[in-house]
Amino acid sequence: MTHPPAPQGCYRHPDRATLILCQRCRRPVCPECMVTAHVGVQCPECVRDGARATRAGEAPFGGQRSTNPRLTSLVLIGLNVAVFVAALLTGGAFGRVATLLAITPRGACLVDDGSGSYYPGIDQATCAAAQNAYWVDGVAGGALWQVLTNAFTHVEVTHLAMNLLALYFVGPPLEQVLGRSRFLCVYLVSAIAAAAAVMWLADPESSALGASGAIFGVLGALMIVARKAGGNYRMILAFLGLNVVITVLGGAYISWQGHLGGLLGGLATAAVLVLPTRQQRSRWQWPGVAALAIAFLVAIALRAIMLA
């Protein structure tokens, strides 16, 4: 049987029992002390701190507010478009740029007919001796840049348009709440987490590319932020569910591994940035983000060693 929480003494009036907690610092406050906020109630000190931070341009969860919260997303969109054009001009899906930047866990021996078919189980030396075939380096073979570059690479207009349209709509709201540096952390750590999932869960000779993993991470982060703020996160959850359905129905044409890894990476990074109290942020935010990034990179390195 679950027992209700015991009343505590108000932090300003210890003789007054209360069940009300400040939304930000979680200290008990009595009805006389509490201040009604946009979400829940706050204690007078947190209200003053919040007003001071707002005047100083501080974002709700630390860092500085972006003067233009669309800028980072627009820069990311521009990078994706530039890489797409470069891939298109160098042979498209199986051209030099696309195969160089997409993530392939072990590497693959592709049939030189533009179909994307490959010879399974063949190493680089055997591939070199085969006719009408060429070797594509993978992370296990030293192409470490693929861990990040795959998240900026597209070879189909539809794929590019869907991802960048999603980024245009979901990126700025997250940057507005977290600030530019924290938003970038969510995006990049989610991309690395997506790469880790591809390394461990996908066919070692297959390739994956696209910003979808990072965007799934942004969606997951938005859900954490909305949940923390007491906002309506059901629309985000519904949109995320729709994308999960598309991922499942897409089958072999969509990297569910990257989507899953990106989502988990975004949820974890947002939790580290959003859940600590104001007093704990300096202790947990940046060390926590660094620990997540290192953990995902270590997972990638271990898998690469196993596949080498």
Does the pLDDT at position 252 exceed 80?
Answer: no
Domain boundaries, the chain: 8-55, 71-307
**Does residue 178 or residue 39 have the better pLDDT?**
178
Give the pLDDT of residue 1: 46
Distance separating alpha carbons of residues 193 and 210, to the nearest angstrom: 14
Q: Using one digit for the tens of pLDDT, what is the confidence trace for 15-51?
A: 999 888 888 888 899 988 988 865 568 888 888 877 6
Give the pLDDT of residue 183: 97
Q: Using one digit for the tens of pLDDT, what is the confidence trace for 108-121?
A: 999 888 777 888 88
Give me the residue label for tokens 């679950």.
2
Active site residues: 212, 259
Residue among 122, 123, 154, 108 at smallest CA distance from 258: 154
Q: Three-state DSSP class for 42? A: strand
Distance separating alpha carbons of residues 160 and 302, to the nearest angstrom: 31
Q: Which two tokens stand for residue 163?
A: 């991802």
Give the CATH number of domain 71-307: 1.20.1540.10
